[in-house]
Structure 1
Amino acid sequence: MKPSFVISLTLCSISAAVGQEILSDPGTLGPALETIHLFYDQWLTGFTVSASGHIFVNYPPVFPNSINFTVGEIVNGREVPYPNLEINTPPGGRLNYSTNPPTSSNSEDHLIGVISVITDTEDRLWILDSGRVASTEGLAETAYGGPKLIGMHLTHNTIFKKILFDQTAVPADGYLNDVRIDLNPALTPSGQGVAYISDNSPEGRTAIVVVDLGSGAASRKLVGDPSISSHPGFVPFIWGEAVYSNSSSISHFSVGVDGIALSADGSTLYYCPAGGRSLYGIETKYLLDNSHNSDVLSRSQIQVLGDKGLSDGLETDSNNNIYGGNMEDNSIIKFNPKTGLVQPFVRDPRLSWTDTLSVATDGYLYFTENQLWRAPIYWGGIDRRVKPYAMFRVKLPDGGVKVSRPRRE
């Protein structure tokens, strides 16, 4: 065979191979994302959308000297302190240097380190203050007056409830993370409803904190249970990279119970550790039980609902669908409690760390992308985050909206 013929045949084969379309990942799925706001300044985690369309945002001071205010509102495209700058400015600063080592501020009249905000079914704003602030040596411990839950009337932007947590409810190294509110008056003697709060203490003292919104009484549930703890040896893979905790030394990604969501009727609390891929649930009646053997009973009633991918926050719509991020797949998933099935809802290459999700009365699912996994604590002190951070929204399926009807009355 002549060399020229062999070369021609080879070139034809290469040309045919190049022209052949090879199946590949499309990278997107579901409704298109709508950009709501871009964050060029402070790093955010939580937010909520009121019935009137007001958007409230929180900025936790988990990186040293990183914020000017810890709760804000988006007004005409700008982020401004909410309800004002004064309440966001603790006297003497967020850290108390009179102690050794420094502790977080204990000012009960000021916002110290807010990690979550949420609106309830009466369209009131609840502000969850972890009371913890980052120093150059890590997260400073709390002091009484720092960790608290504050209720705000949005009509006049005034405080109607303030619950301070002592160290039996929230230890000095606890870290209140997310909150869900059930206003069913039948749940407690006070008739004012209940708050369920995740504590994902970096020191491992994880718990679900149950709070009577009337009396302020709080109790820690499922303390240290494997279902609310980081899964041993967990390593997430995001955008093709393995993510380890890597501040002073390299270790596995270890974050306990983070996202929580109530079923639409309030009968079940769904939750997940961020250091794992599993979803869990428990009937709230067991968390509300304070009888002698309630702890043993509640642990025996935990439902293991299977894998749903790596998630931070969780959220519920009026159709009782549970939504959460799936960071390793650049997606948001939808869990159907009736069928037990998890399905991707939306997928987009811009998704990497879906921190907080919020269903609004307008029928949209809002969510934030804050690049947490690219923070210095995971990359040996190198900050790989690239501003802006983003808030998106997508239309919910099947007419889903924010849960607004009274629960189990």
Structure 2
Amino acid sequence: MKFSLIIVALSSFMASAIAAPAKSVPAKDNSGGRVVLDGAQCSPVQGRLVCDDGFGNTFLFSARAQNLIFDSGRSGPSLEVVHLYNDQWPTGVAVSSTGRRFSNYPGGLDPNNTNDGTNGKYTVAELFENNIEKPYPSAEFNNPPGGAINFTTTPPTGANYKNYLIGVQSVVIDSADRLWILDTGRVLTPQGVLVPASVGGAKLVGVNLTTNSVIKTIVFPNTVAYPDTYLNDVRFDLDPSLTSSGEGVAYITDSSSEGRTGLIVVDLGSGESWRHLDGSPYVQGDRQFLAFVWGRELYANQAGNRAGHLTFGADGIALGKDGKTLYFGGVGNRYLYSIPTERLRDNGPTSEIRAQAAVVTESQRGLSDGFETDTNGFIYHGNFEQNAINFFNPENGTDQVFLRDPRINWADTFSVATDGYIYFTNNQLAFGPAVYPGTDTRQRPFGLLRAKLPNNGTKVGSKM
């Protein structure tokens, strides 16, 4: 009974000490700062009271102000700002073995990137010191005659030039240090209408970085790149044993919001291309998908209609370090999927059935866009709702946080370089006009950031 009275007294003292310390002070005796609390003898030790109730019971009491723990918002390796984009809005980034850096600026996601034949807008640029950008491989190649839109058709369509860039969504450097440019052939009108592609506009362009000249152009037929296809990202496997041409293959995601999403495979030697997983749930967004970035809910903006859900399908793509597995996922879902690459390279009569049956759901990954791989075998991706970059570890099936930084809002595209860093564009896509209510709240500059890879990781296939 005596002990319970002491606890009550202590609880009362705690409340009064925190709420009104000036009005409730325990009685002191004259023996070195000791206090008497309901008969218990208490001594101050490191800001706390150590009390003895006289019955052999000792307990601690703290009258010091207490604080709740909080999230610092940062963890993992630090981020470095590499480049600031003060003009056109970027998505992709690619870094060569010599440190050259390239970005692309899709007119299919931002009408301010659309070339109208006179405004000098570029869709691919090389990045230089002091945040300077120059059209690449040339200003001419970025300026289709009459602009990126053919207004003589009804409805207007993307220009059908194979020798000019129309609306580039991705730039990637392969293990042979060549730059590949993925052109959707689609751009937005000034009114925000995404025009369909024409044959010649949708293509894959290879550039020799030594001569800065185009070395290959693969034009997709409209049976592979439909008029409403949106070519999104691409990865390369240059293993000569994969095809009879001996030049390797490319794997591409089609993230079309019109619904015909899928994966595209290209023989880099013959130029032949084909599709897999068309209409599969694995390449589509979830019907009721809802995400949040910086405390803002993300609904799709649909002009004249109520807010919708983000429906972007197959988007991010990464090749496992041994080339045997392709990882992919959509912006409109939270899942990381994989498929054996041999199933995708098969274009036989039963190949689609086998491909559909071979897809594996590897993990949840949060809201993310692009993917990338390093020599650790990790599959890096964004985790925007946590202001984070994560990686999936195929060895143990876990997805974990690599780094967190409050500046991260939309890590769009990644590039692992031979210098041991992972680069990514941070472009505020969630704050753009595609998100309800359609108000553009993006603030320049957009950023290119980088972080050191763990375990001395580097680019797969690197000889450095």
Residue 90 of structure 1 is matched in structure 2 by 144
- Correspondence for 1:47 among 64, 86, 93: 93
Question: What SS does the aligned partner of 2:142 have?
Answer: coil
Distance 2:18 2:104 in 1: 64
| Aligned residue in 1 for 2:236 | 181
In the superposition, relative to structure 1, how do residues 144 and 18 fare at CA in structure 2: closer, same or farther (>3 Å)? Answer: farther
Instruction: Give how far 1:264 is off.
Output: 0.6
C-alpha deviations, 1:215-245, integer Å up to 9, x for none?
A: 1100011111111100110001111111100
39 and 292 in structure 1: CA distance in 2 versus 1, 3 angstrom threshold: same
Unaligned runs of 5+ in 1: 1-5
Q: Show CA shifts across 1:231-268 (max 9, x none).
A: 11000111111110013121011110100000011100
- In 2, distance between residues paired with 1:63 and 1:215? 33
Rounded Cα–Cα distance in structure 2 between residues aligned with 1:138 and 1:13: 68
Q: Does 2:411 correspond to 1:354?
A: yes
Answer 1 or 2: higher relative contact order, Cα 8 Å, separation at least 6: 1
Deviating beyond 2 angstroms after TM superposition, the runs of 4 or more aligned structure 1 residues are 6-19, 62-67
Aligned CA distance change for structure 1 residues 13 and 45 (closer, same or farther; 3 Å): farther
Distance in 2 separating the partners of 1:277 and 1:17: 46
* Residue 3 of structure 1: aligned partner: none
Query: Pick from 298, 301, 304: which aligns with 2:355?
Result: 298
What is the DSSP-based 3-state SS (H/G/I as helix, E as strand, rest coil) of the residue aligned with 2:323? coil
Distance 1:13 1:278, change over 3 A: farther
Structure 1 residues 168 and 12, CA gap change in structure 2 (3 angstroms): same
**Mapped pair 1:81 → 2:130:** no
CA contact (8 A) 2:335 2:365 kept: yes
Unaligned residue ranges in structure 2 (runs of 5+): 1-14, 25-61, 115-120
Greater Cα radius of gyration, structure 1 or 2: 2
Letter in 2 for 1:64: P
Q: Deviations over 1:270-295 (max 9, x none)?
A: 00011011100001000011121111
Change (3 A) 1:18 1:214: farther
Q: How far 1:327 sits from its partner (Å)?
A: 0.8
**1:19-64: CA deviations, max 9, x gaps?**
3121111211101111101111000000100000000110001222
For residue 382 of structure 1, report the CA deviation from its aligned partner: 1.1
1:42-88 deviation digits (Å, cap 9, x = unpaired): 00000100000000110001222435100000123311100111000
- Which residue matches 1:386? 443
Aligned counterpart, 2:117: none
Structure 2 vs 1, CA of residues 197 and 31 (structure 1 numbering), >3 Å: closer, same or farther? same
What residue is the counterpart of 1:232 in the other structure?
287
* 1:132 and 2:186 correspond: yes
SS at match of 1:245: coil
Q: CA deviation at 1:310?
A: 1.0
> Who is 2:34 aligned against?
none
Q: How far 1:306 moved relative to its partner? A: 1.6
| Residue 102 (structure 1) aligns with | 156
Deviation at 1:308, TM superposition (A): 1.1
Contact residue 247 and residue 376 of structure 1 kept, 8 A = no
- Once the two structures are superposed, residues 71-113 of structure 1 have per-residue CA deviations (whole angstroms, 9 ceiling, x without a partner) of 0001233111001110000001111110122111111110000
- How far the C-alpha of 1:14 sits from its partner, in A, is 12
Give distance in 1, aligned partners of 2:421 and 2:262: 31
**Cα shift readout 1:346-389 (whole Å, capped 9, x = no counterpart):** 00011111000110000001111000011112132310111110
Q: TM-score, normalised by structure 1?
A: 0.95
Of 11, 15, 25, the residue aligned with 2:20 is 11
For 2:176, give the aligned amino acid.
Answer: E
Change (3 A) 1:108 1:372: same
**Secondary structure class of the residue paired with 2:361:** strand
TM-score, structure 2 as length reference = 0.84
Answering whether residue 210 of structure 2 is matched by residue 159 of structure 1, we say no
Change (3 A) 1:9 1:286: closer
CA shift in 2, pair 1:9/1:296, >3 Å:
closer
Contact 2:18 2:65 in 1 (8 A): no
- Residue of structure 1 equivalent to 2:255: 200
Name the CA shift for 1:17/1:209 in 2 (closer, same or farther; >3 Å). farther
Map 1:333-372 to 2 at 5 A.
Answer: 333-372=390-429
